[in-house]
């Protein structure tokens, strides 16, 4: 079941969605090593992408083992978004993804992210400017089903989706919640089915309530979307992708033992120290270990031990104590 986004071929239809605070290069590399075929960066402000020098280097990282990868941008002015897209294109991102979905109040009040679901004209001006700016590079959109929860006509959604495909967008990813819903309530998979029926020849990716590999496959089977973006379900479970591949092949999903979990967690720590610095690496891994603990048989004890950790030695001691088989 390969997936295609413009000229980019993706060998398996379950990828890692954009996750602020999680889908950075270290975690993307961990997910890649466990079968993720496609990953999206955290949302980046267009203005940050256009910064020069060291700050940009910290923010934007690519690695030969992390392809195909989409760089996701968020902004207000179509021309600034186009400049940021050009910049990501030159850096070697395979796909440019536009965020019209983020519900965070500060983002929406600055007319960015999910605010675009309420402003189809600006959304489409942005798509056109970005498509023109990066000829040959696939451009994708992350949308919500509507801005307001009560909106059952989804008029802005349809205007943006149709206009974007006409303007040359290669795919849309639809988070089947409204912007107002943020991350609560159920995602409307029935709406995903409607979207796929409306665009049978286009690439449509689904997002929302993909809580497990089995749910990822169920979303594709029930809605007909071409691919799925895992999000919260893949935080702390990078085996998600290998498990989805197992289920697709009719094998029982791989269940990593404690030794393998420890190997992945310590590798993640090394990658985070390399990408940032040891202090930030520890901070990130302390936070991530609480998520990895979801898979541990003594998760409550482990979490209680992890929240007390202050130093690298303490962190390592907890990991060694809980993850030896
Ligand atoms: C902590 C967190 C950060 C997120 N950051 C982004 C982001 O930067 N860009 C984006 O398009 N979506 C972002 N999302 C939305 C997810 O990609 C996904 O669409 C959403 O969580 C619904 O999927 P789920 O119900 O399976 O988690 C984020 C979600 C969470 C929970």
Q: Which residue among 14, 15, 19 has the greatest number of ligand 1 atoms within 8 angstroms of its CB, and so is best to mutate?
A: 19
What is the percent of the chain with per-residue pLDDT over 70, rounded to a whole number?
99
Cβ(140) – ligand 1 distance below 6 Å: no
pLDDT at 71: 97
Instruction: Give the span between the Cα atoms of 21 and 106, in whole angstroms.
Output: 16
pLDDT in tens, 184-204: 999 999 999 999 999 999 999
Q: Where are the beta strands (DSSP E) in the chain?
A: 3-5, 8-10, 14-16, 39-40, 44-45, 69-74, 95-99, 139-146, 171-178, 203-207, 227-230
Mean pLDDT of the chain: 96
Residues 117, 183 within the same domain: yes
Strand partners, 171: 140, 203
Return the closest-CA partner of residue 98 out of 32, 23, 164. 164
Residue located nearest, by CA, to atom 2 of ligand 1: 19
Q: Are residues 268 and 228 in the same domain?
A: no
Same domain, 177 and 43: yes
**CA nearest to 32, candidates 50, 14, 6:** 14
Is the domain of 237 the same as that of 274?
A: no
Answer with the one of 190, 217, 248 that is the final residue of a domain.
248
pLDDT band for 258, please (50, 70, 90 cuts): very high
Residue 253 lies in a domain: no
Number of domains in the chain: 2
Do 293 and 228 belong together in one domain?
Answer: no
d(CA 219, CA 187): 11
If phi > 0 it is left, if psi is from -120 to 50 it is alpha, else beta; for residue 39 that is: beta
Return d(Cα 271, Cα 229) in angstroms, integer.
23
Question: What tokens were used for 115?
Answer: 């605010």
Residues 219 and 273 in one domain: no
**Same-domain status, 80 and 196:** yes
The token pair that represents 187 in the structure block? 């995602």
Are 229 and 264 members of one domain? no
Q: 283 lies in which domain range?
A: 258-322
The answer on 156 and 66 residing in a single domain is yes
pTM score over 0.95? yes
Strand pairing category for 39-40 and 44-45: unpaired
The number of beta carbons lying within 10 Å of the beta carbon of residue 195 is 23
Domain finish residue from 201, 217, 248: 248
The CATH number linked to 76 is 3.20.20.70
Band the pLDDT of 60: cuts 50, 70, 90. confident
pLDDT at residue 55 in the model: 66
In this model, does residue 255 exceed pLDDT 80?
A: yes
Residue 325 binned pLDDT confidence (cut-offs 50, 70, 90): confident
pLDDT tens sequence across 157-176:
999 999 999 999 999 999 99
234 lines ligand 1 (CB under 6 A): no
| 190 Cα–ligand 1 center, Å | 19
**Residues 187, 263: Cα–Cα separation, whole Å:** 34
Q: Which pLDDT tens digit goes with each residue over 62-112?
A: 999 999 999 999 999 999 999 999 999 999 999 999 999 999 999 999 999
């Amino acid at each position: 079941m390969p997936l295609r986004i413009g000229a980019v071929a993706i060998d398996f239809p379950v990828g890692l969605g954009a996750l602020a605070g999680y889908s950075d290069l270290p975690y993307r590399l961990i997910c890649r090593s466990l079968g993720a075929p496609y990953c999206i960066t955290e949302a980046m402000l267009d203005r940050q992408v256009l910064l020069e020098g060291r700050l940009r280097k910290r923010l934007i990282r690519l690695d030969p083992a992390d392809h195909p990868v989409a760089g996701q941008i968020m902004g207000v002015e179509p021309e600034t978004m186009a400049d940021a897209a050009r910049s990501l294109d030159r850096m070697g991102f395979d796909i440019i993804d536009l965020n019209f979905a983020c519900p965070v109040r500060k983002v929406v009040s600055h007319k960015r992210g999910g605010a675009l679901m309420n402003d189809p004209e600006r959304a489409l001006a942005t798509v056109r400017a970005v498509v023109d700016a990066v000829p040959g590079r696939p451009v994708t959109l992350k949308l919500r089903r509507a801005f307001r929860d009560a909106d059952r006509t989804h008029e802005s959604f349809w205007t943006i989706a149709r206009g974007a495909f006409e303007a040359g967008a290669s795919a849309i990813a639809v988070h089947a919640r409204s912007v107002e819903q943020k991350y609560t309530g159920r995602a409307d998979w029935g709406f995903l089915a409607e979207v796929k029926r409306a665009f049978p020849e286009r690439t449509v990716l689904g997002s929302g309530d993909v809580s497990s590999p089995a749910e990822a496959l169920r979303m594709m089977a029930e809605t007909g979307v071409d691919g799925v973006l895992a999000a919260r379900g893949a935080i702390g479970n990078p085996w998600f992708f290998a498990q989805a591949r197992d289920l697709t092949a009719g094998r029982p999903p791989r269940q990593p033992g404690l030794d393998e979990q420890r190997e992945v967690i310590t590798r993640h720590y090394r990658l985070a120290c390399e990408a940032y610095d040891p202090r930030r690496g520890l901070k990130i891994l302390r936070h991530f270990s609480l998520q990895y603990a979801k898979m541990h048989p003594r998760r409550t004890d482990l979490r209680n031990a992890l929240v007390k950790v202050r130093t690298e030695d303490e962190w390592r001691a907890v990991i060694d104590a809980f993850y030896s088989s």
